[in-house]
Structure 1
Amino acid sequence: MSVDPRRTVGAVFLERAAAQPGQVALTVYRGAGEAESPGHPGLTYGELARRAGLRAERLAERLAPGERVVISLPTGTDFVELYLACLLAGLVAVPAPPLGGSALAAERVAVIVGDCAPGLVFTEARDRAAMAERLAAHGLAHVPVEEPGDAGPGDLPGPSRLRLDAGPGALAVLQYSSGSTGSPKGAMLEHRNVLANVLSLHDNAGHGRPGDTFGTWVPLHHDFGLFGQLTVALLYGSHTVLMSPSEFVKRPVEWFRLMSRFRCTVTAAPNFAFGLCLRLIQDHHLDGVDLSGMQQFVNGSEPIHVPTVTAFAKRFAVTGLRPEAFTAGYGMAESVVYVSSTPRGAAPSVFVADPAGTMSAERPALNHSTGGEGKEIAGVGTPRAHAARVVDPQTHQVLPDGAIGELWLRGDSVGPGYWGRPELSEEIFNARLDGEPGWLRTGDLAAFRDGELFITGRLKEIVIVRGRNLFPHDLEQQARQAHPALAAFAGAAFGVSVPDERVVVVHEVDPRTKAEDLPAVALDVARHLTEFFGVPARNVVLVRRGTVRRTTSGKIQRRAMRDLFLAGGVPTLHSRLDPDVRRLLPVDAQ
């Protein structure tokens, strides 16, 4: 059965469920052994369709076609059932992070609710009061907040009791950005966009092949988990095993045990997860773990650090994980999720970025081998379902092979724009290239080499010091390597103007570090960064664990940290700042 992008996501799912009602669609893994108990046998496609259909019928009785439904629930069957129910009821699913007692998550959800004006918000019973209180504080007390409840008894409703005729151009999902570079924006994704992307994931990335089993902890409110894992698996009839993101962060070895227990063939994670596994998984944890069946171990959603992936592959080869299973991928919510990936079974190409490279057509920025000086960049394959160009962001001229510029895309997966932001949508989603409209400005810096795409950083987060383009994730990575007290903790690098650009790194430090040792730690970090990058990088702020702000998917909120720093709001253990930079702070924070 093929995925037809001329239909709706809900209709394709029901057809898949009718074709294989007895096959297991979904299992929730809650730790070693628990998923094997009689209470967690997994949902079959037939049962999942029944539950989602009953929920859809009730929602359709209450809400008009096209109304938004915010789903602020943790990873689990309730989230999946309500997501499918929205698509079966002609409603717009709005994934949002679960509260889980987090004030930052509650604030983010309130901003999303205020932006999209939903007809209903679903949250856990334990979070209902907190959600209602936060919404009321934003003047949104009129928005109903409910817990998901149970689907209840009954058969799958017939087509006449559902809304399956919304059409491929109807809005299916509002996928809000992570907020790592600004306020969350709702990317509008139509049914045809989602189905075109799922089709590309299958045809070009090889996801959803017969016998595939997906194992994932990536949050379902994030496009990487929702579309790159769950949706493609459901529409192609695969088994998906879900794990709580918080469980992964606490015990990453459980991800390995999940994949071993269910003989998973596909998984995906951001680069930080590879580093976390290297730090926290001990050799004795791997007893009995067998990952020899893994076909695709995808690294995506954030910059890929080649040394970390190399170390990961070497360290965990003992589990049977083969080097050819590793895949590098690139995508973004504005294009559902998937843009490109390295071919299944082929190792990613690695080139070196010229450390003095610029976004100019005259100076290529990628060398042909890993032997030169500079940063290793992993290729992420060739976009096959998108037209893709690397463009000078100022002149809007296409750049030659090897030059770094802004990546522009055009294709059936690209959504029509951001919810309620027509001017921004026109600027970002309808850029003109050689007189032709309809190009998406990704905001990502990239280069092509022999048709393969290499992502080098974010346009808006670049720090330019003495004519050098410095990427924050590179600064953060090197800061962690500068001193053991920073190795396992988060940092945020950004630039400030005085008026020349200066690098500032705010970094968490090991709580076991003595106060009298902090000045030496900061000095070591400043020296290492300055020597490594060849430009002054002397401003280091050391903070307690948990101070650096992240999005709910784990991305560093660099802009928020910069704003907090300039407002004097960073609770500091020790700081080492240039006098000019210190003068930027409020008097009481200097």
Structure 2
Amino acid sequence: MRAVLPDVLTEALARHGDRVAVTDADGSLGYAELADRARAAADRIARHATDGERLRVGLYATNCVEYVVGYLATVYAGAVPFLADSAFGPFELSRIAEDCGLDLLIHAPSADVRDVVDESLTDDGEFGFLTVSRVRRYSTPRPRLLDDTEVCRFTSGSTGRPNCIEFSGAAVSAAAANWVKGTGLSADDRIACFAALSNGLAFNTSLLAAFLPGASLHLSHGLPTASRVVRLLESTAATRLVAFPALYESIVRRSPEEGFATVRTAISSGAPLRDTVREEFTRLTGVPIHNYYGVAETGPLTYAADGRGSGLGAPLPGVDLLAEEHGIRVRSESMGSRYLNAPGVFEQRLDDEGYYRTGDQGQLRDGALHLTGRTSRMVNVGGRKIDPIEIAEVLRTAHGVLDAVAFEAENQHGEPTLAAVVATEPGVTAQSLRTHCAATLPSFKVPGILRLVDRIPANSIGKPSIERLRRLLGEPHSN
């Protein structure tokens, strides 16, 4: 089957020539330069291919120009890129490598990949400061990719193994094209992106979507603080800001007086954005925040074009969305095909009409989607879905732990965070539990709030009382 993305990228990069394509703090590439760099790097990747098998290449790095080169190079080489969240720790990365049968890993030299790779491969600088390593072989057979799969991305699983979503090239291309059409993205736009390119918020709105009309993509290294946002906006004269709600909260707390003169659109997704934050951000900066609703498995779904209301906007082109009593169901042109490493799980969420059950509840009011809750147990923290049962199970394996319950709560800034109440024996500390969690979980799954108790409060039928657990978080304690 002929791949879709190489032709789409080739046409887009050729059409925009010397326009700026992508920048970071260390440099920039025009469209023609990006194409040349990606082709040279693709030749290096292709040398490791074997007959009859497409290479599986993991990308494990923070946002940078070299990440974009590596992604395009993998596509051009006829290989399949697996976009791993750089927040994943060694434990989850090794599970990905084994579950998905990775061949190569493109990563930062400082990344802890000792349990995953056999050797670093020599190159001539095609990948800049990033390193290309050969992934060690596992005894377990690797699952077969679908013939039309061209990109794989990850979402949190319920067993500690991130679910690997297979996307066809047609789905990836449709996600980008429909985003461009539905949001009015143009060649005049300069996108300041503070979400990881492995995440759907950035992947769908700021990668291929930027290149189709000839916009420029501006990336930032390091922790996205409010001051770093302002510096990037000013230095690039950005017209679009893409970020998670937590960053908008941080900007509002800083109360900036300048830096947003050129910004026309701010885009938020991944977690609920409080109306008070949205309104205060616009008051301070003059920039409306446009909410965007998407699901990892289905791609971008809605966009709030006016940026004024509290809803998540109307369905994007190529999206059929139903908000019903039992939850939101969607079909989209950008939908994933299945989970490579969890046979049958994705298919169980599809109904007989091919609609995907999102697990969200909501209503369509005047054509705009408003979320009202969740039908599943997953919690949303910083744009990442976390299974609280998985967290509780990890906590229960710690020495001295009698029981544990994890759930979503609010931190001191009113932002969603992961909390856990843990019944322990004497001598157990919150720090020891965090260290235990960090040994097997990525940093974003380690509870931000931990309360240690003698026993877990229960309701009248013996189940943990979430209401009483939440009250515990607000009481004084010595841990």
State how far apart, in whole Å, the 2-side matches of 1:219 and 1:545 are.
30
Q: Which residue in 2 is equivalent to 1:24?
A: 20
- 1:186 is aligned with what amino acid? C
Distance 1:417 1:277 in 2: 37
2:102 to 118, 123, 142: 118
Mapped partners of 2:201, 2:122: distance in 1: 25
Give the 5 Å matches for 1:35-74: 40=27, 42-64=28-50, 66-74=54-62
Work out the CA distance in 2 between the residues paired with 1:61 and 1:338. 35
Deviation at 1:131, TM superposition (A): 0.8
TM-score using structure 2 length: 0.75
User: C-alpha separation between the residues in 2 aligned to 1:462 and 1:17?
Assistant: 39
Q: Deviation string for 1:386-430 (max 9, x for gaps)?
A: 111134xxxxxxx4xxxxx321111221121111333113212x3
TM-fit CA distance, 1:341:
0.4
| Paired residue secondary structure (1:334) | coil
Deviates more, 1:111-120 or 1:449-458: 449-458
Distance 1:426 1:83, change over 3 A: same
| Shift of residue 267, structure 1, vs aligned partner | 1.7
- Give CA deviations for 1:512-567 in whole Å, capped at 9, x if unaligned: xxxxxxxxxxxxxxxxxxxxxxxxxxxxxx956995979xxx9964xx75xxxxxx
Q: Secondary structure at the match of 1:74?
A: coil
Q: Give the alignment partner of residue 313 of structure 1, picking from 282, 286, 291.
A: 282
- Name the CA shift for 1:453/1:556 in 2 (closer, same or farther; >3 Å): farther
Which residue does the alignment assign to 2:301? Answer: 339
Which AA in structure 1 matches 2:312?
Answer: G
Residue in 1 that maps onto 2:476:
none
Distance 1:338 1:545 in 2: 40
Question: Is 1:261 aligned with 2:221?
Answer: no
1:544–1:573 CA contact under 8 A, matched in 2: no
Q: In the alignment, is residue 381 of structure 1 matched against residue 302 of structure 2?
A: no
CA contact (8 A) 2:70 2:127 kept: no
Superposed displacement of residue 575, structure 1: 4.3
Contact 1:119 1:144 in 2 (8 A): no
Once residues 277 and 407 of structure 2 are traced to their aligned partners in structure 1, the CA distance between those partners, rounded to angstroms, is 13
The within-5 A match list for 1:426-465 is: 426-428=347-349, 430-432=350-352, 436=353, 438-461=354-377
Aligned length: 410
Counterpart position of 1:247: 223
Give the match's secondary structure for 2:188.
coil
Which of the pair has more CA radius of gyration? 1
Aligned to 2:162: 184
Please state if 1:131 is matched with 2:113: yes
Contact 1:17 1:49 in 2 (8 A): yes
- 5+ residue gaps in structure 2? 129-145, 380-387, 389-405, 424-428, 465-479
1:178–1:275 CA distance, 2 compared to 1 (3 A) = farther
| Fraction of identical pairs, as percent | 21
Counterpart of 1:422? 343
**2:78 equivalent to 1:90:** yes
Higher helix share: 1
2:181 counterpart residue number: 203
Letter in structure 2 aligned against 1:492: L
Question: Taking CA–CA contacts closer than 8 Å with sequence separation of 6 or more, which of the two structures ends up with the larger relative contact order?
Answer: 2
1:295-345 Cα deviation digits (max 9, x unpaired): 22011111222122222222x23xxx33xx32011012212x3111011xx
User: SS of 1:247's equivalent?
Assistant: coil
Determine the C-alpha separation between the residues in 2 that align with 1:108 and 1:96: 10
Shift of 1:176: 0.5
Residue equivalent to 1:277:
251
Native 8 Å contact 2:418 2:449 kept in 1 = no
CA RMSD, Structure 1 to Structure 2 (Å): 3.7
SS of residue paired to 1:454: strand
Change (3 A) 1:173 1:45: same
Structure 1 length normalisation: TM-score? 0.62
- Contact kept in structure 1, 2:194 and 2:219, CA below 8 Å: yes
